[in-house]
Structure 1
Amino acid sequence: MAKTHDLSHLDALVDRHMNLREVRNRIRTEDSRPDTGTAAGPDGPFVTVSRQYGSGGTALAARLSLELGWQLFNKEILEAIAENAHTRIRVLNGMDEHLIGRIEEFINHLIVPESINQFAFIKEMSQVILTLGHRGNVVILGRGANWLLAGDAGVRIRTVAPLERRIEAVAQRKDADRNEAERLVVESDRSTAGFVQKIFGRDVDDPLGYDLVLNLDRMSEDAAVAAVHSVLHRLPVWQMAAQ
C-alpha cells in the first residue's frame, strides 16, 4: 500500500496537472484549432515507464517529465491518490459518465485479484491511471500502466539492464554491499513480476506489452530520450496537435 501522503500535497499535484490542461485548452481555443483529442483533448498523449530495478528508468521518467512539461505520477503517488477518496474524486471529476462506465467494464474484465479488498484497491488505482492517460500530458511510472493504456495514444516504455549493472547501481545508490544490493534487485524483480502476473495475467518481460524496450546499459540517457521523442512525435494524436 501507499506511504502516507499529505492531502494538500496530493491536491496541489492534481491542481498542477489540471491547470496545465486548462492552459493548453485555452491556447487551442485562441488559435481556433479544432479539438483533435490530442495534447489538450480527451485522449493522451502520455508516456508510461516500466523499469527493472536499478536500470535507470526512474531517472529517465523524471527527465521526460521535465522536458515534456508533463506531470510525473509514480507508484507512491498513484497509490496515495487511489487510497484517498477526496483526491481520487477530484481526478475523476469532469469525466464523461459513459467513459467512466467503459473504464469500469474494462477493469472488471482485465484484473484478476485474489480478494475483494484487493479488487477494490486495484480497481480504484486503475481508474486513476486510465483517467490520467485519457486526459493526457502525463508520465506514469510503474503500477502496470502499460497494460491498462493503449499504445496508439502514448508511448509505453520498458527499461532494462544486465543484472550485474543493476546490482552495482543499487549498491551505489543505497550505499549497500553487493550481497544486499543483489537481494534488493532480485526481490524487486520477483515482486514486480508477481504483481503483473497476478493482477493482469501477463509476463512483465513480454516485449509486446511495450512500444520501446530500452537497454540503458547499451545506450545513453540522451539516446533513450531521443528514441522516446521519436516514437511520441509519430503518434497521430501528437501530429494532429501540431497541425
Structure 2
Amino acid sequence: MAIVTVSRQLGSGEFEFSTQLAERLGYRLIDRQLLERAAEELDVPIQAIEAIDEQPSPPLEVRIARRILSGATERVPLLWEEIAKPELSAGAVRSFLPVVIHELAAQDNLLFVGRGAGFVLAERPDVCRFHLIAPIADRVLRVRRLFNVEAAEARRVIDRTDRARGRFIRETFGADWSNPLNYDVVFNTGVLGIAAAVEAAAAAVHRRIRMLAA
C-alpha cells in the first residue's frame, strides 16, 4: 500500500480534499492526531503544541508556549526547564513532530495533512506527496466563510499563513514550500475543482501502489 501527504495553501479546499480522498482510499486521516500524539509523548497540554504548530520560531510563539505550559511545571519539570530558557525556539518543542510522523508511518493506509510530513517522508518510495493551491479569490472566499471575516482580513490571514508555512518548511527542512518539484502532483483546485482533484489523486495513489507491486 501507500502513504499520502497533503501540503496546502490556506483556503485551497484542503479539508474537503483530504477528507474525501481519505474516504475514497479507505485511509486513516492524520491531522490533529499528530499534535495530540506529540503532546502525549512530551507530556504537555495539546494547546502548547497548537500554539507553535507549522510556525517558524518568533518570540511571540515562544511566549505563548511558556504561558500555556506554566500551569504544568509540576508534571513536566524537565521539559519546563528547557522551555524556560530564553534561547529556546518554538522549533525545540515542535521538533518532536517528525518522530511522531515516522512512528505513525510504520503503518499503511495513512493520509497526513501538513506538518511537513511530505518532507519528513521524502525518501520513502511508497509516499505520494500532493500540494493544493488555488487562485487568491477562491482562497479569500473560503477563509471569509471559515473565519467569518471581511475580505481584507481574510487576505491578511492568508498572507500571514503563507509566510509562516513557508518559513516553517525552510527552517525545519531547508526546502521551498512553494516549489512544485517538492511534490509528486500539485492540484489547482480553482481549475480542477475538489471532486476532480480527489479523483486524480486517488488514481495517482493506485498507480503508485501498482508500481511498487511490479
Report the TM-score when normalising by structure 1.
0.64
Indicate conservation of the 8 Å contact 2:28/2:110, yes or no: yes
Indicate conservation of the 8 Å contact 2:187/2:197, yes or no: yes
After superposition, residues 158-173 of structure 1 pair within 5 angstroms as 158-173=131-146
Report the TM-score when normalising by structure 2.
0.72
Deviation at 1:217, TM superposition (A): 0.2
* 1:67 aligned onto 2:30: no
* 1:77 aligned onto 2:29: no
For residues 162 and 220 of structure 1, the distance between their equivalents in structure 2, rounded to whole angstroms, comes to 12
Which amino acid is 1:121 matched to?
V
Indicate conservation of the 8 Å contact 1:58/1:141, yes or no: no
Specify the alignment match of 1:126 in structure 2: 98
Specify the alignment match of 1:196 in structure 2: 169
Which amino acid is 1:183 matched to?
R
- RMSD value, Cα: 2.5
For residues 41 and 89 of structure 2, the distance between their equivalents in structure 1, rounded to whole angstroms, comes to 15
Structure 2 spans left out of the alignment, 5+ residues: 44-56, 59-86
For residues 227 and 61 of structure 1, the distance between their equivalents in structure 2, rounded to whole angstroms, comes to 13
- SS of the residue aligned with 2:106? helix
For residues 175 and 12 of structure 2, the distance between their equivalents in structure 1, rounded to whole angstroms, comes to 21
Q: Which residue, 168, 193, 211 being the options, matches 1:220?
A: 193
Deviation at 1:82, TM superposition (A): 1.0
For residues 236 and 138 of structure 1, the distance between their equivalents in structure 2, rounded to whole angstroms, comes to 13
Query: Matched residues, percent identical?
Result: 30
Which amino acid is 2:137 matched to?
E
Which amino acid is 1:213 matched to?
V
Which amino acid is 2:166 matched to?
A
- SS of the residue aligned with 2:175? coil
* 1:145 aligned onto 2:117: yes
Greater RCO structure (CA 8 Å; 6+ sep): 2
Which amino acid is 1:206 matched to?
N
